[in-house]
Structure 1
Amino acid sequence: MRTASFGILSTILLVTSFAHAADVKEKAAICAGCHGENGISQTENIPSLAGQPDQFLQWQLVFFRAGSRKNEQMSPIAADLSNDDIRNLAAYFASLPPPGPPSDDDPALNDAGAKIAARSHCASCHTDNFAGAKAVARIAHQREDYLLKALTDFKTSVRSGGGQAVMADVAYPLTEDQIKALAHYLAYFK
């Protein structure tokens, strides 16, 4: 009898997990409209989500839902997400392979950005390969235009929330040209 009960329980868990996976993929399909198939954005100023750390994604969705991070498109979507939705979507996008590096079209700008990244100690939070960890974003191979926007938003205090005050301190002293070089370096990081 015990074996039969285990078999039924296994079947129920398997069916539940398929239903759960289908629900997550259905919710993630809404994200694909802006963030791209498989979480890799093809849209200007929209970040790729694939390969972002799970905790980072969870916190960003919580910030959007709470209104501490504002965005015309994201705020209303996040407002309708439950805690389970947030956990499941974050785990889903974290499990996807991140975008690879595009071909670098400006090695001199890349070299300038590498020096700024070193001087700004970007690796101390984002890790040596800029893949992020825990609640810190993956910035390697992120869209260059999005990195430029994010760094500018941190510099001008448009973007805040959570432990991101350090980003304002990092971005504030950078010139526009330095931000451009840093965004380029991170987007094309090898």
Structure 2
Amino acid sequence: MRVASFGIVVAATLVLTPVARAADVAAGKEKAVMCTGCHGEDGISQTENIPSLAGQLDQFVQWQLEFFRAGARKNEQMRPIVEQLSNDDIRNLGAYFAQLPPFKGSKDDNPELSEKGKQAAAGRRCASCHIDTYVGTKAVARLAGQREEYLVKALRDYKSGARSGGAQAAMADVAYPLSDEEIAALAHYLARL
């Protein structure tokens, strides 16, 4: 009798639970038109302190949009945009940006600074979350090829506690002891990968 009751509960759950739909990249591309003004054509930002989204991981994009929509991450420009997004829109945007080819990084015009950044990355164990190539994994951001000044801003925001939403505790712990020189070196290094 118990097994039969359990089977009925499982069957009812399967019937009543909505099926997760696959992301629609074409719908994500259509919705991303509203993102191009800041995040650039094909997700490559040309705007200071605005991140490139091309090649960011699907889960990372989705989580950040959720954090903005819930108010866990605060940004006056993002708030009215994300308030209009449905869950499907967020899923589709994540899939769209993830499939775009990322910016390949700038030519290294200061190898000495890059070496200092590489040492800072090793010392703070950045690869333990962002992986050895700094392309991220799952809900962890891609850093390789990101805009240099945006990386500086993000690290300073984590260090000061101004940035919240996702990985705040881990990133604050990593960023807090960094000097301004280490932040500049780390951002320079990662932007050129």
Q: TM-score range by the shorter chain?
A: 0.7 to 0.9
Letter in 2 for 1:33: G
Say whether residues 1:95 and 2:99 are aligned partners. yes
1:67-122 Cα offsets, whole Å, 9 max, x none, are: 01011111110111110000000100001011012111111110100000000000
* 1:26-75 superposed Cα distances (whole Å, 9 cap, x missing partner): 21011011101110101100000010011000000000000010111111
Identity %: 66
TM-score normalised by the chain length of structure 2: 0.86
Distance 2:138 2:27 in 1: 25
Residue 165 of structure 1 aligns to a residue in which SS?
helix
Q: What is the deviation of 1:23?
A: 3.7
Q: Which runs of 4+ in 1 moved over 4 A?
A: none
Aligned position for 2:30: 26
Name the SS of the counterpart of 1:51 in structure 2.
coil
Matched, 1:106 2:78: no
Amino acid at match of 1:139: L
* Structure 1: runs of 5+ lacking an equivalent: 1-19
The residue that corresponds to 1:8 in the other structure is none
| Separation of aligned partners in 2, 1:21 and 1:179 | 35
Superposed displacement of residue 162, structure 1: 2.5
Task: Identify the residue that residue 7 of structure 1 maps to in structure 2.
Answer: none
> What secondary structure sits across from 1:57 in the alignment?
helix
Amino acid at match of 1:150: A
> Is 1:170 aligned to residue 182 of structure 2?
no
Give the whole-Å Cα distance in 1 for the aligned partners of 2:26 and 2:98: 17
Amino acid at match of 2:123: R
Question: In the comparison of the two structures, how many residue pairs are matched?
Answer: 171
1:117–1:22 CA distance, 2 compared to 1 (3 A): closer
- Mark the CA change 1:65 to 1:101 in structure 2 (over 3 Å): closer, same or farther: same
* Compared CA separation, residues 22 and 124, structure 1 to 2 (3 A): closer
- Whichever residue aligns with residue 180 of structure 2, its letter is E
Of residues 88-97 and 22-31 in structure 1, the stretch that sits farther from structure 2 once superposed is 22-31
Structure 2 portions without partners, runs of 5+: 1-23
Number of the residue aligned with 1:142: 146
Distance 1:70 1:25 in 2: 24
Counterpart amino acid of residue 44 in structure 1: E
Question: Is 1:42 matched up with 2:38?
Answer: no
CA distance in 2, matches of 1:113, 1:163: 21
Partner amino acid, structure 1, of 2:110: D
Q: Is the 8 A contact 2:25 2:95 kept in 1?
A: no
